[in-house]
Copies of this chain bind each other. A is one copy, B any other.
Amino acid sequence: MFLINGEYQQHINIQDRGFQYGDGLFETLEFIHGKAVFLDRHLNRLTLGCKTLGIPYPEQALLEQDIIKLNQSDSRSVLKIIITRGIGGRGYRPAESIQPTRVLSLHPYPIYPETHYQLGISACFCLTQLGLNPGLAGLKHMNRLEQVLARAEWRDDSVQEGIMLDTNNHVIEGTFSNLFYVKNSQVYTALLTHAGVAGITRQIILELLAFNGIKVTESFFDKQEFLEADEIFFCNSIIGIWPVKQLADRAFQIGPVTRAIQHWYAEFRNKAINGAD
């Protein structure tokens, strides 16, 4: 089910700059019991992204109306929100005055085995690299060819996620997730100033770690540091937190820090779903 600028439609104008140039941004949220989980955080990131790209942010009321219109069942689903710069301009040059396009859609929640969460997943390193671009780093923009190529590298269903390095050989993220490692009870994750998507779940985890007095370092790390870690986990808004049981040739234990973060994050998410707002 797709809502394009508030209307149920399955097709979009071919001249939309989202199609022509990937000139837009998107968000992927969990939708449950009629509620978009962490909606404020996602819309904040979207607002910030629009500002960075110079795309007028649609009226928030319109987005909220769209969400209400889409919300016709109580089942758990995935909400995708896309904002593009709209139609117009000559070539790459955007028109002076342009109406952004908003596309909202609900999708069946992917069915992942509970064991991914409990017992961990297997991951590989991808060969496709992330280009460095400080101007676009952090944004969830629509230029996603690198992720498409990385995800196409493996067909083996026993591997659930692939890790992407940037062109400096720093470990940045998973193809559809962010990534942390734990060493001697301290937590490490990639600094996203040059590549990668600044995930909402990643941000919440950083806050939960700070709140619980666990030191986190955001910096640049290479493969070896991940392979010598005590624990590794992936995260995003849909999967939550998946520990790693196998990365390349190394087996990992699911350690106490990952378990604690899973617990804190589950509590935090439950509060958001059942909370007063």
A residues near B (Cβ < 8 Å) are 2, 4, 9-14, 16-23, 53-54, 85, 90-94, 96, 103, 105, 110, 128-136, 141-152, 155, 167, 175-176, 194-195
Complex interface: chain B residues within 8 A of A148 (CB) = 17, 21, 23, 53, 85, 92, 94
CA distance A142 to B13 in the complex (A): 16
Complex interface: chain B residues within 8 A of A144 (CB) = 20-23, 92, 143
Complex interface: chain B residues within 8 A of A4 (CB) = 14
Contact of A10 among B13, B18, B149 (CB under 8 A): B13
CA distance A10 to B13 in the complex (A): 6
Q: Identify the 5 closest CB pairs spanning chains A and B, nearest first.
A: A22-B22, A131-B131, A131-B133, A11-B11, A143-B143
CA distance A231 to B151 in the complex (A): 44
Q: Which residue of B lies closest to A175 (CB)?
A: B92
Complex interface: chain B residues within 8 A of A20 (CB) = 142, 144
A53 touches B149 (CB 8 A): yes
B9 touches A14 (CB 8 A): yes
A132 touches B135 (CB 8 A): no
CA distance A18 to B12 in the complex (A): 12
With A13-B10, A144-B143 known to touch, is A133 a contact of B90 (CB < 8 Å)? no
How many whole Å from A106's CB to the nearest CB in chain B? 13
Contact of A176 among B22, B91, B175, B195 (CB under 8 A): B91
B151 touches A93 (CB 8 A): yes
Q: Which residue of B lies closest to A147 (CB)?
A: B92
B22 touches A2 (CB 8 A): no
Complex interface: chain B residues within 8 A of A9 (CB) = 11, 14
CA distance A223 to B245 in the complex (A): 49
Q: In this complex, which of A10, A20, A150 has the most chain B Cβ atoms within 10 angstroms of its Cβ?
A: A20
Complex interface: chain B residues within 8 A of A134 (CB) = 129, 167
How many whole Å from A81's CB to the nearest CB in chain B? 13
How many whole Å from A168's CB to the nearest CB in chain B? 9
Complex interface: chain B residues within 8 A of A133 (CB) = 129-131, 146, 167
B22 touches A21 (CB 8 A): yes
Complex interface: chain B residues within 8 A of A18 (CB) = 19
B135 touches A149 (CB 8 A): yes
Complex interface: chain B residues within 8 A of A2 (CB) = 14
Complex interface: chain B residues within 8 A of A128 (CB) = 135
Complex interface: chain B residues within 8 A of A142 (CB) = 19-22, 145
CA distance A85 to B149 in the complex (A): 12
Could you list 9 further interchain pairs (A-B, Cβ under 8 angstroms) beyond the known A53-B148, A92-B151, A130-B133? Answer: A11-B14, A12-B19, A17-B148, A18-B19, A20-B144, A21-B148, A129-B135, A131-B195, A135-B149
